[in-house]
Structure 1
């Protein structure tokens, strides 16, 4: 069943001090099935962050459509976008975006508080989630008291507690050491096996190899895609690395 449909997406910027327009996205079309795990790769400036921002309703496309469960995101009124994000999208960012003045529990609860979810329901949701993420003993600590890997797990808990249709992850391993990055990727594997749909932007071939499918973007267009199929992770890393090499040298 198709969860997300991206149709002929284009994004053109007009720099303030220039008459020249910059096309960040030229013509992006793809679909994401419910329960799929997709990685998006591309060099800096390729358009992948712009694409993620549009999917997150943080930016608007110049043309084209994004449909989440058949709902056209461009038709959501401005005043309803924040509510839509809280109810349908989960975000995991490279820099965690945790509030230092809130303890771990309150950081995780924040989107539910904003949605006015009952306290009883909030407690019901957090208990199995923090146990699965192995952060149940950190709930009363503050972000500045825990490690980078633990912060990222808190960010994942905050993203998942709303039971989102889609998790959007922007370079989630970029600020982590190799051990913490591996633990996070294993966690993503686990929640994906439980049915969570994930769309992850990454520079890392190792991170991308955990996905079922990898989309490669170059100069605002989808250059190629790879399916993991029956490949081992090591074989998929090799295929991703080879494609990335071609991506850096071949014209679209």
Structure 2
């Protein structure tokens, strides 16, 4: 098993300590190598909190996370930073590219932080440039790019470390429909090549491209759908029906 989340709980204290907010109450699930999993739920359901904990950017109040059987609890901040660089790739809604760096330098940044040689960085970049169609963008700066171009560059930055898992937070949220289609096609292609993907999304369309969808409600995994032999259209309708039931408090089969 590549990733295991066991009984994750996250409680936040309000600013003056007067009350507690339970963001996650009891989340358990696992992700196998090569899976493409989407996480959905209404606003405030705990999706982003869960992703931040999986990304080691936040710590759970209780529970465990294991990556390839390795527990990350107890790691110091410096160890966690190294763990993120070596094992995880990130794609964000707002791209998180540095405007003062060229596209090429943005993509290289995680490798620079890992003290990789220029030769190794260049050799890793070459196949990504070809796959993502960004050769003409490398010397440009992020502020010169469209949203879709920025996101392709952000995907290159996520993949250049050869991560065990790519975590994507609303990756289509700032894109127009054409750029969204291109990104989702790209995600499918890199998943078919063996890359494990875990994506938090509000988009039924984006989720319909995944092989499995987890639904979070009231801080717990409430339901899941496996794509199996379903078409994207069938998957889309199944997800939409489930979201309607979540919003209206209806009963799901098997619940």
1:55-97 per-residue CA deviation (whole Å, 9 max, x = no partner) reads 0000000000000111111122222111110100000000000
Instruction: Return the TM-score normalized by structure 2.
Output: 0.97
Stretch of structure 1 that moved more, 55-64 or 17-26: 17-26
Corresponding position of 1:129: 128
TM-score when scaled to structure 1? 0.98
Shift of 1:18: 4.4
Q: Once the 2 structures are TM-superposed, how far is the Cα of residue 220 of structure 1 from its aligned partner?
A: 0.4
Secondary structure, counterpart of 1:234 in structure 2: helix
C-alpha separation between the residues in 2 aligned to 1:21 and 1:6? 23
- For 1:7 and 1:20, locate their aligned partners in 2 and report how far apart those are by CA, in whole Å: 25
SS in 2 for 1:116: coil
Give the aligned partner of residue 25 of structure 2. Answer: 26
Which residue of structure 2 aligns with residue 8 of structure 1?
A: 7
Alignment RMSD:
1.0
Q: Which residue pairs with 1:57 in the alignment?
A: 56
How many residue pairs match? The answer is 251
Paired residues for 1:1-252 under 5 Å: 2-250=1-249
CA pair 229-68 structure 1, distance change in 2 beyond 3 A: same
Q: Unaligned regions of 5+ residues in structure 1, if any? A: none
Deviations along 1:82-141, whole A, 9 cap, x unmatched? Answer: 111010000000000000000010000000001000111100000110110000111100
CA deviation digits over 1:227-249, x for unaligned, max 9?
Answer: 00100000000000000000111
- Would you identify which runs of 4 or more consecutive aligned residues in structure 1 move more than 4 Å? none
